[in-house]
Amino acid sequence: MIARIALLCSLAAVAAIAAGVVTWNLSVAALRADIAAQAASANLLLDAPSPPESIVVKTLLRPGLHVILVDRRNALVIDGMSGKVDRHRLPAVPPPAAPGAPRRRAASHLAGLALAIAHIRPTTVRRNGISVTVAPAGPSLARLLLEDVASVLLALAVIAAWCSARVRRIAREERMALIVRAEATRDEAQKYQRFLAEAGHELRTPLTVVSGYIDILSEMKELAAIDPRLLAGLQAETTRMRHLVEKMLTLARLESDANIPRLLDLTTACAEIVAAIRRRYPNRTLEHIGRPGLSIVIDADDLFDALGNLIENAVRYAPDSPILVESSKRGSFAVIRVIDRGPGIPLNEQAAIFDRFQRGSPGSKPEGLGLGLAIVKRVVERWSGRVDLESAPGRTVFALFFPLEDEEPGGSTR
């Protein structure tokens, strides 16, 4: 909308300037026509038998014209603009402005500028030692130029004022709309955060109770004649549900403003996270290589959640593949890459894979609620980073980008 108003204002300004130029050109054309007409009249008057010089000048004078008659036989000069009669021989051209006050000099300069812009040459008619010069009057032409420029400037000022008022009004309306949308989004986010937190806490208690009962049954399975496979299934599903609840609580925490930013050595932090997850999956090949000396400011729990979810995602969807975690530098960003050699992610799923509750295709036997990659995306957004995905059959790479830092959040240098 603002761009449209700017375009309209630009067109209006161009139209105002063009109108001023056209008005000036029409006025100059009319003045040229007057000079030509008066020169023709001078021809007729000088052909008449001995007309009085003063009558000739008065007859030819018109508003905006300067008429000078020079009678070289009688050494007579009549200036039609001033009405001055001089008995001395003078050039038959409009006299220059006499030196005087600064105002008169400025008026003379302005008249000279107007004459130069108009580019109208004086017309001289000669008969029997008498010459009549018809030229544009400098002061009148200067006044015409000032009026034309003033009208253009006034039009531009009106256009600018209107445009400014419209832009301010639109900006104010857009700002209010943004405030309303931001408040609505914040309210929805708070509701969503409360739902996740309350649901997670409500589910955690019964899961703890169920886990306790399963442990009791496991100890007395011989006495109760319970199939061990049933107990193993119950324990696995309870563990899975506990992991889902923890993810819900993690996402609720990430939606809040609570965090403890610290300056972390990225390579060391990644090595510790990989070691912790390797203990969960001792039968999987999980390695880390990293460039030393890379520091980022982040909440350590947030980094663990983001990288941990990427690694667990690779463990789940690439079960027969080794997993490599790399930490490196690219420009002003530290980069963490999680690489697996699994089947890859179908192209039609990649665009929405970081959405909440988005899980893999049915053929990949997805588990969970689809919150893991949503947590990853929320962490990088929370710390001014981004997450990239490259995937094809046989290779999938998730890359986390975080800004490099060398100072603690409080300002102390490392």
Q: Is the dihedral of CA 324, 327, 328, 332 positive or negative?
A: positive
Q: How far apart are CA 276 and CA 385, in angstroms?
A: 24
Which two three-digit tokens encode residue 219? 């100890």
Q: Assess if residue 201 is contained within a domain.
A: no
Please choose, from the candidates 84, 81, 94, the residue with its C-alpha nearest in 3D space to the C-alpha of residue 124.
94
Q: Assess if residue 120 is contained within a domain.
A: yes
What is the per-residue pLDDT for 113? 85
- CA distances for 242 relative to 208, 234, 367, angstroms: 9, 12, 13
CA atoms within 13 A on the CB side of 79: 16
Q: Assess if residue 233 is contained within a domain.
A: no
pLDDT in tens, 115-144: 888 888 888 888 877 888 888 888 888 888
Using a pLDDT cut of 70, give the percent of the chain over it.
75
Q: Assess if residue 372 is contained within a domain.
A: yes
AA letter at 90:
L
Burial class of 274 by CB neighbour count within 10 A (0 to 12, 13 to 18, 19+) = buried
Residues 33/38/43/46 CA torsion (nearest 10 deg): -170
Least reliable range by pLDDT among 79-88, 117-126, 132-141, 308-317: 79-88
Average pLDDT over residues 235-244: 72
Q: How far apart are CA 58 and CA 253, in angstroms?
A: 97
pLDDT in tens, 375-395: 899 889 889 999 999 999 999
Average pLDDT over residues 74-99: 54
Q: How far apart are CA 257 and CA 262, in angstroms?
A: 15
291: DSSP letter: -
Please choose, from the candidates 104, 97, 101, 69, the residue with its C-alpha nearest in 3D space to the C-alpha of residue 83.
69
Is the confidence at residue 87, as pLDDT, over 50? no
Average pLDDT over residues 395-408: 89
Average pLDDT over residues 70-98: 57
pLDDT in tens, 319-368: 889 999 999 999 999 999 999 999 999 888 888 888 866 666 544 555 55
Is the confidence at residue 241, as pLDDT, over 50? yes
Please choose, from the candidates 311, 360, 308, the residue with its C-alpha nearest in 3D space to the C-alpha of residue 340.
311
Count of C-beta atoms within a 10 Å radius of residue 142: 21
pLDDT in tens, 251-307: 666 666 656 788 999 999 999 999 999 998 989 999 999 988 899 999 888 899 899
Is the confidence at residue 211, as pLDDT, over 80? no
Model confidence at 314, pLDDT cuts 50, 70, 90, reads very high
Least reliable range by pLDDT among 49-58, 168-177, 209-218, 249-258: 249-258
Residue 300, SS3 per DSSP: helix
DSSP string, 125-164: EEETTEEEEEEE-HHHHHHHHHHHHHHHHHHHHHHHHHHH
Write out the residue range of the structural domain in which residue 368 sits: 260-403
CA atoms within 13 A on the CB side of 279: 5
pLDDT in tens, 14-45: 998 999 899 989 988 888 898 888 888 888 88
Q: How far apart are CA 360 and CA 317, in angstroms?
A: 9
Is the confidence at residue 215, as pLDDT, over 60? yes
In this structure, the answer to whether residues 141 and 269 fall within a common structural domain is: no
What is the per-residue pLDDT for 362? 46
What is the per-residue pLDDT for 95? 45
**End residue of a domain, out of 94, 124, 149:** 149
**End residue of a domain, out of 149, 170, 195:** 149
What is the per-residue pLDDT for 110? 79
In this structure, the answer to whether residues 144 and 268 fall within a common structural domain is: no
Is the confidence at residue 86, as pLDDT, over 60? no
Q: Higher confidence at residue 378 or residue 230?
A: 378
CB 379 within 8 A of CB 254: yes
Indicate which CATH number applies to the domain containing 365. Answer: 3.30.565.10
Question: In what helix (H) or strand (E) does residue 390 lie, and over which residues does it extend?
Answer: strand 386-392
What is the per-residue pLDDT for 98? 42
What is the per-residue pLDDT for 6? 83
**End residue of a domain, out of 127, 149, 171:** 149
Please list, in sequence order, all residues whose beta carbon lies within 8 angstroms of the beta carbon of residue 168, skipping any fewer than 6 positions away. Answer: none
What is the per-residue pLDDT for 89? 43
Residue 401's DSSP bridge partners are: 335, 386
In this structure, the answer to whether residues 270 and 390 fall within a common structural domain is: yes
Calculate the average pLDDT of the chain. Answer: 79
Is the confidence at residue 114, as pLDDT, over 90? no
Q: How far apart are CA 172 and CA 162, in angstroms?
A: 15
CB 398 within 8 A of CB 387: yes
Q: Assess if residue 414 is contained within a domain.
A: no
Q: Assess if residue 299 is contained within a domain.
A: yes
CB 261 within 8 A of CB 303: no
- Give the chain's domain count: 2
Residue 350's DSSP bridge partners are: none
Q: Assess if residue 167 is contained within a domain.
A: no
